[in-house]
């Protein structure tokens, strides 16, 4: 999911920074076909003169927000029937594999080949269904994250300016994929952003004792499909 959010993080936060620059320098030329920054400019102070440095885990902030917890939990529940369906198919395939293993020496070539083909066919369908479910879930998860991030970006920008920060690093990706090698907890403003966003969104906190939403992992079969036994040549008479 990190990649889903990463694709728009720069665009959304970049728009806010672009708005600040335009407000700070009214004579600056607007690039052709540039996205409208009027709304963003009106939503943030005109100058960012802070000098402090902070870190922010944007992905964590999205998940930890009341809105994020609510929407991701709903998404997880939505996919529970598909999860159950895939689990049933995985159990069926595992059962057929155990049957083949247990009866390997008792089945004739025709019966064994037929069972092997059935397992292979069901395995292919299962793998395709699993991949489709994962992609569908990740796409919808990314849509939720992108929607929340779009609304969270102005909150982040306002907090940064109001509190004198001149530079904020996103730590959603750990080094070396991310740019931050190491940072102390005193630099992290993730919780402050979550609290600020919750206050603005008006979404109530999840009920006490509720389980945080986690990505659905479709069921997988425990073993690989049994290999078709190699044909043997009858001994010469």
pTM here is: 0.67
Domains in the chain: boundaries: 2-201
> pLDDT tens digits, residue range 178-231?
888 888 899 999 999 999 999 999 999 888 766 555 544 444 554 444 444 444
Residue 109: other Cβ atoms inside 10 A: 10
> pLDDT tens digits, residue range 97-109?
999 999 888 888 8
Residue 162: other Cβ atoms inside 10 A: 12
Q: So what's the pLDDT on residue 175?
A: 86
> pLDDT tens digits, residue range 115-140?
999 999 999 999 999 999 999 999 99
CB 198 within 8 A of CB 205: yes
CB 229 within 8 A of CB 112: yes
Q: So what's the pLDDT on residue 10?
A: 43
Q: So what's the pLDDT on residue 118?
A: 94
What φ, ψ does residue 23 adopt, rounded to 5°? -70, -35
């Amino acid at each position: 999911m990190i990649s889903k959010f990463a694709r728009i993080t720069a665009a959304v936060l970049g728009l806010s920074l672009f708005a600040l620059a335009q407000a700070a320098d009214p004579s600056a030329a607007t690039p052709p076909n540039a996205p409208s920054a009027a709304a963003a400019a009106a939503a943030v102070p005109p100058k960012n003169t802070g000098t402090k440095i902070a870190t922010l885990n944007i992905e964590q902030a999205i998940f930890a927000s009341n809105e994020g917890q609510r929407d991701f939990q709903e998404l997880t529940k939505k996919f529970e029937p598909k999860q159950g369906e895939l689990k049933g198919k995985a159990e069926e395939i595992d059962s057929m594999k155990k049957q083949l293993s247990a009866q390997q020496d008792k089945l004739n070539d025709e019966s064994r080949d037929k069972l092997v083909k059935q397992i292979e066919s069901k395995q292919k369908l299962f793998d395709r269904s699993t991949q489709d479910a994962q992609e569908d879930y990740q796409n919808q998860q990314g849509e939720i994250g992108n929607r929340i991030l779009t609304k969270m970006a102005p909150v982040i920008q306002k907090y940064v300016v109001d509190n004198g920060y001149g530079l904020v690093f996103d730590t959603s990706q750990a080094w070396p994929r991310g740019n931050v090698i190491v940072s102390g907890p005193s630099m992290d403003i993730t919780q402050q952003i979550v609290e600020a966003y919750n206050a603005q969104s008006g979404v109530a906190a999840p009920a006490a004792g509720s389980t945080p939403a986690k990505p659905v992992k479709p069921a997988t079969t425990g073993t690989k499909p049994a290999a078709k036994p190699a044909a043997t040549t009858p001994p010469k008479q």
